Amino acid sequence: MNIHSNSEKILVASTDVLHALENKTPLVALESTVITHGMPFPQNLEMAVELEEILINSGVTPAFIAIIDGVMRVGLSRDEIRMLSTAAGVMKAGTREIATAIHLGRSAGTTVSATIRIASFMEIKIFATGGIGGVHRDYLQSMDVSSDLTELANSKMIVVCSGAKSILDIPKTFEVLESLSVPVVVFGSDQIPGFYLRETQIKSPLRLDNVDDIVRIYQIRKQLWLNGSILVLNPINKECELHDFDVDEIVESSLDAAFSAGIYGQDMTPFILDNIVKVTNGESLRANLELIKNNVRLSASIAQYLA
């Protein structure tokens, strides 16, 4: 599929993605900021290849989404993934930045919000990621709320993650999702997970233990023309939790350091995440890798059942 504007292509889907869509075979969307901004090279490249292989080995077509030289790409080649993993000056594009990146001919890693928007346009039904954005802890000062939440409210997908990122105000994030009528499901647990931790002491709105229940709820919502993606929270495996660290304390000290350095807005999240990696001696990065892989495995099961 090619979408054109002023005689120039602005969206291109790979042959594999088009084949999956046309033949209604299992397909899962993946965001590209994990390649461009989430991890250093070569871990980012190794992770991207491993995620694709998990899906392929499960009989599911992977669809990394990115913007390359001003063209939205749905389904990347290995050469394109390698290029994004090492390229300098790559934008970080949320929904707000999609048109800007296209017009300026820039390359960009797509965040959760932009990936949801582009995947929804392509009628891809399932998206797997590590964690979503949400309400920031300094909200009363910054008024910072991620556009991920509004995209979740406006789209009609199944989004699999391990909860809101630990740097956020998790209770307020899920209060906002409730206000936006976004259905939240915790897979196999009675508590909302805390990204690096399996439990937060926040009661799950709904616990489901079977993939077929998730798919059936999605299908009923679609029949009723209800907006709002189903947000499936998949707790990190117990052996991968950051047991030995006080994550809240690390985040708060990282926030103080960011404010002292005059860091705000989009630069805040990568600064804090980098600091968490340093303080935990890389344990947070390893946990992040494991939870993303776990989420991709669950998304593959959902995609197989839905196909």
Which residues participate in catalysis according to the annotation? 31, 165
**End-to-end CA separation in angstroms for the chain:** 20
Cα 160–Cα 182–Cα 228 angle in degrees, nearest 5 = 85
203: three-class secondary structure by DSSP: strand
- Nearest partner of 64 among 270, 227, 265, 292, judged by Cα: 292
Task: Extract the tokens encoding 218.
Answer: 């999605």
- Are the C-beta atoms of 176 and 154 separated by less than 8 Å? no
- Are the C-beta atoms of 162 and 130 separated by less than 8 Å? yes
Beta pairing class for 126-128 and 27-31: parallel
Burial label, 140 (beta-carbon count in 10 A; 0-12, 13-18, 19+): exposed
Helix (H) or strand (E) holding 64: strand 61-68
Task: Extract the tokens encoding 59.
Answer: 């009989």
DSSP state of 292: H
Distances (CA, A) of 171 to 47, 81, 132, 231: 30, 35, 13, 15
Task: Extract the tokens encoding 257.
Answer: 């350091």
- Are the C-beta atoms of 127 and 115 separated by less than 8 Å? yes
Helix (H) or strand (E) holding 109: strand 108-110
132: three-class secondary structure by DSSP: strand
